[in-house]
A = this chain, B = another copy of it.
Amino acid sequence: MKLGTHSFIRELSTIHLIVLFYLTAVLISGVLLGLPFLHQSGVDVSFIDTLFTAVSAVSVTGLTVVSTAETFNAAGKIVLAVILQFGGIGIMTLGTFVWLIFGRKIGLRGRQLIRIDQNRSTFSGLVKLMINILKIILTIELFGTIILSTYFLHYFDTWQEALLQGFFGAVSATTNAGFDITGSSLMPFAHDYFVQFINMILLILGAIGFPVLIELKALLSSRGDSLYPNHHFSLFTKLTSVTFFSLLAAGWGLIYFFERNAFLMDKAWHEKLFYSLFQSVTTRNGGLSTMDVSDFTIPTLLVICALMFIGASPSSVGGGIRTTTFAIMLLSIFNYAKGNSSIKLFRREVDPEDIYRSFIVITTATMLCGSAMVLLATTEPFSLIEIIFEVCSAFGTTGLSMGITSELSMFGKCIIIFLMFVGRIGIFSFLFLMRGTETNDLYHQPKEKVIIG
């Protein structure tokens, strides 16, 4: 078994560049969001809160230390929506788009940048892929904006306000950003199934992963796409879709089960079902909420924490360890217990290196989040479950909170900023970042077994 991949030096500098891009995006976003004329009159935001908002926006997490609705004016909200767009689709993708617009051909270096960021394993057709991603996301957001804005004419006094709310809502949902300009997430629409339904669709389309959308589009448009001839779904699309919807169903069932005699007790049967469904969808990565999560019981909160930690599909707008990582871990354990020497699914075999990567990602993420919990428990005066919830939400870039975000100390905010950043770039890039100089791996030592477990 190989521990590493074939081209470390190349990937190393590539990931350094990606991180540099993200940091630049955070910097620019921070400066923009700090501009006084984008704020409501009389509002003053501290440096750490501006930085926090910028990281939360670029990583499309949605944790907030200031109220978006009350801090930013209409122009500020539009700027924020644009930042979410950048963050959600990925700076690399947009970078490619800008390059295309400026008429420059994308060289090998540029392709590498995008390949790592979206984690695609194939080089071919990358430019086409990027254009496809942009087309698809903008189309989804356009439809979302039209539907929501039209519908919001009933809710808001002016068509301008309805349009702003519809536009921001569609972008925030599709990018799974979780930011809201209503002042209380989707709670004003807690009884409006239509708004929630549209939001769920947008959330799922954003979190299911771009490759899935592209393969779906290729299938739906019924014309041969050079990337995916004969409409064969890739192993990735099958695996991530099955995992995504399994997690969604599991979350739905568990939240319903744990809350049926607690938070959901006084609700009608259709409300019970719909509320727990929406909550499960939003933990996949959205972070929008129709109710106060701190009203839930501890078992529900723990389940939500686990779901947020797992997060969305790779190559999506979401964070966490990602669905495929979790699925491959489960399959590995199952196959190991069965005594199989390989993982077979959908008439394919999983690459051993992918298995190894999964375990590296999961264990690193667990230790990272565990350490963050211990640190926050040291400095913050909140209950353990509130801290665990905040950590999982930040790492999964989900953005749900039991309400402690704005009350965190400076140190606590820094920890959450760090988690959002790592959650967004992924454990994988994070580990590459940790890498020092080139290592000496050319010689071998005799192998010796030790006793495990």
Chain A contacts to B: CB under 8 angstroms: 1-4, 8, 12, 119-121, 209, 211, 234-236, 239-240, 258, 297-299, 302-303, 306, 314-315, 321-322, 324-325, 328-329, 332-333, 335-344, 347-364, 366, 370, 373-375, 377-378, 383-385, 388, 426-428, 431-432, 434-436, 438-439, 441, 444-453
> How far apart sit A359 and B363, CA to CA, in the bound complex (Å)?
8
Q: Are A432 and B337 in contact (CB under 8 A)?
A: yes
Q: How far is the CB of A118 from chain B (nearest CB, A)?
A: 8
The listed residue with most B CB atoms (<10 A of its CB), out of A298, A347, A435, A439, is A298
Interface centre among A3, A349, A451 (most CB of B within 10 A): A451
Tell me the bound Cα distance from A127 to B453 in angstroms: 23
Besides the contacts A3-B341, A119-B453, what 6 more A-B pairs have beta carbons closer than 8 Å?
Answer: A121-B449, A298-B377, A302-B373, A325-B452, A348-B446, A361-B452
Cα-based distance from A315 to B315 in the complex (angstroms) = 43
| CB of A387, distance to nearest CB on chain B (Å) | 8
B358 touches A452 (CB 8 A): yes
Q: A235: which of B349, B363, B450 is its contact (CB, 8 Å)?
A: B450
B441 and A428 contacting across the interface, CB-CB below 8 Å: no
**With known contacts A4-B340, A352-B1, A384-B385, A324–B451 Cβ distance under 8 A:** yes
CB distance from A323 to the nearest CB of B (A): 10
Q: Which residues of B contact A209 (CB under 8 A)?
A: 451
Residues on B with C-beta less than 8 A from A211 are: 451
Which residue in chain B gives the minimum CB-CB distance to A428? B453
A349 lies within 8 A of B441 (CB): no
The answer to whether A360 and B373 touch (CB under 8 A), given A4-B341, A449-B121, A452-B314, is no
A427, closest chain B residue (CB)? B453
Given contacts A355-B1, A444-B342, A447-B348, is CB(A384)–CB(B298) below 8 Å? Answer: yes
**What is the bound-complex CA distance between A27 and B355, given in angstroms?**
40
Could you say which residues of chain B place their CB within 8 Å of the CB of A328? 450, 452
Give 5 nearest A-B pairs by CB, closest first.
A361-B453, A359-B359, A1-B1, A1-B352, A314-B451
Q: Which of A302, A335, A336 has the most CB of B within 10 A?
A: A336
Cβ A435 vs Cβ B338 within 8 A: yes
A4 touching B336 in the complex, CB below 8 Å, given contacts A328-B452, A359-B359: yes
Taking CB atoms, residues of chain B closer than 8 Å to A338 are 435-436, 439
**A337-B431, A338-B439, A436-B338 known; A448 and B3 CB under 8 Å?**
no
Complex interface: chain B residues within 8 A of A374 (CB): 299, 302-303
Residues of B contacting A441 in the complex (Cβ-Cβ under 8 angstroms): 339-342
- Report B-chain residues with C-beta under 8 Å of the C-beta of A361: 452-453
A to B CB contacts below 8 Å, 16 in the list: A2-B341, A121-B451, A236-B448, A236-B450, A240-B451, A298-B384, A314-B451, A322-B453, A324-B452, A328-B450, A339-B438, A339-B439, A340-B441, A348-B447, A351-B447, A354-B452
Q: In the complex, how many angstroms separate the beta carbon of A187 from the nearest chain B beta carbon?
A: 26
The minimal Cβ–Cβ distance linking A424 to chain B, given in whole angstroms, is 12
For A426, the closest partner residue in chain B by CB is B453
Contact between chains at A445 and B377 (CB < 8 Å): no
Q: Which residues of B contact A303 (CB under 8 A)?
A: 374
Our pick among B239, B363, B439, B448 for the contact of A329 (Cβ within 8 Å) is: B363
